Amino acid sequence: MFELSQLRCFVAAAEELHFGRAAARLNLTQPPLSRQIQLLEHILEVRLFDRTSRSVQLTRAGQNFLPEARRLLRFADAAALAARRTARGEAGSVSLGFTAVSGYEFLPRLITLFRAEAPDIDLVLREMVSADQIEALTSGRIDIGLIRAPFDRREFNSFCVVREPLVLAAPVDHRLASAADVTLEDLDREPFIAYSPYEARYFYDLLATSFGEAGIQPSYVQFISQIHSVLGLVRAGLGLALVPASAANLRFDGVVLRPMHTKRLAELHMAWRRQNTDPAIETLTGLVMSYMPDATVDLNAARGKPA
């Protein structure tokens, strides 16, 4: 099989129709260039040039081979460039796991940023709950996860990308929907739509801790895993709920979101395996830290808006 160096010598000679000028163009002397072309002719088993003491002309085989040789060189140069860009984190592919809630506010902002700053890196999205993301990160099925705590911080690099308050979701005709000030104590004994302790463990624990600190006990009527399902049940008048402030982006008719006085914020972390050294990961995480102040999205402004 011929080599790229032989193709480069052939193309230069074919374009110059002068072996001396072709050699100078490639920073060679004429004998090595002539030898490379002879080797190429031997491999192809055809004569590519008609040479005399006065002129150099392409044979019919050489004329037909020239565009193919140029094409192969373009492919080789493009492949080399792609490899260098991948090594610099300017091209490649990153698989990103995300929770449903992160898709309300943070993920769209991340995609917009990434497409603007790293358009040649493909972002492959995988919606998963945090537990499944952690398993997928460990097994290498995804590169980066947008996950909730807890997770093994010794195994993953991570930083917090979102800290947002919980807001009260109430039916539009509920007394708390128009209250000027709402506290956790107002939820005591109220019918309440809670989170599943299995599929939504993070929010289940967050609410249980908050209610325990406030010394209250809502009356749980359902345990649900997805925020949009929770809001649908609130709209149906089944009970109240606490949801992340970013849920305001769902805009459920018949549901009002009210600010709450709570100590605890819902956190979302970007995490990836320490052993994964793909430069594209460094590009993505670096963009988040550079363009999103303190690597944290401020969602407080979403509070109090009707959903």
Query: How confident is the model over 124-132, as a mean pLDDT?
Result: 91
**Residue 85 pLDDT > 70:** no
**Residue 299 pLDDT > 80:** no
Higher per-residue pLDDT: 158 or 89: 158
Query: How confident is the model over 63-77, as a mean pLDDT?
Result: 88
Query: How confident is the model over 96-106, as a mean pLDDT?
Result: 92
Q: Where exactly does CATH 1.10.10.10 map onto the chain?
A: 4-87
Q: Which fold has domain 166-258?
A: D-Maltodextrin-Binding Protein; domain 2 (3.40.190)
What confidence score (pLDDT) does residue 303 get?
Answer: 34
Q: Three-state SS across the chain?
A: CCCHHHHHHHHHHHHHCCHHHHHHHCCCCHHHHHHHHHHHHHHHCCCCEEECCCCEEECHHHHHHHHHHHHHHHHHHHHHHHHHHHHCCCCEEEEEEECCHHHCCHHHHHHHHHHHHCCCEEEEEEECCHHHHHHHHHHCCCCEEEECCCCCCCCEEEEEEEEECEEEEEECCCHHHHCCCCEHHHHCCCEEEEECCCCCHHHHHHHHHHHHHHCCCCEEEEEECCHHHHHHHHHCCCCEEEEEHHHHHHCCCCEEEECCECCCCEEEEEEEECCCCCHHHHHHHHHHHHHCHHHCEECHHHCCCEC
Name, of 14-18, 76-80, 239-243, the range with top average pLDDT.
239-243
Confidence of residue 298 (pLDDT cuts 50, 70, 90): very low
What confidence score (pLDDT) does residue 276 get?
Answer: 86
**Residue 305 pLDDT > 90:** no
Q: Look at the alpha carbons of 193, 196, 199, 203 in this order and tell me if their dihedral is positive or negative.
A: positive
**Residue 302 pLDDT > 50:** no
pLDDT of 235-292, one tens digit each? 999 999 999 999 999 989 999 999 988 888 999 999 999 888 888 898 888 888 887 6
pLDDT of 178-224, one tens digit each? 988 899 999 999 999 999 998 889 999 999 999 999 999 999 999 99
**Residue 13 pLDDT > 60:** yes
How many angstroms separate the CA atoms of 209 and 8, rounded? Answer: 70
Amino acid letter, 213: E
**Residue 97 pLDDT > 90:** yes
* Average pLDDT of the chain, as a whole number: 87
How many angstroms separate the CA atoms of 30 and 136, rounded? Answer: 58
**Residue 127 pLDDT > 90:** yes
CATH number for 4-87: choose from 3.40.640.10, 1.10.10.10, 1.10.3720.10, 1.20.58.740: 1.10.10.10
Range of weakest confidence among 53-57, 100-104, 137-141, 296-300: 296-300
What confidence score (pLDDT) does residue 260 get?
Answer: 87
**Residue 126 pLDDT > 60:** yes
**Residue 165 pLDDT > 50:** yes
What confidence score (pLDDT) does residue 222 get?
Answer: 95
**Are the beta carbons of 175 and 201 closer than 8 angstroms?**
no
pLDDT of 220-235, one tens digit each? 999 999 999 999 999 9
Q: Which fold has domain 92-161+268-296?
A: D-Maltodextrin-Binding Protein; domain 2 (3.40.190)
**Are the beta carbons of 57 and 50 closer than 8 angstroms?**
yes
Query: How confident is the model over 109-117, as a mean pLDDT?
Result: 90
**Residue 44 pLDDT > 70:** yes
What confidence score (pLDDT) does residue 88 get?
Answer: 62
Q: Where exactly does CATH 3.40.190.10 map onto the chain?
A: 92-161+268-296, 166-258
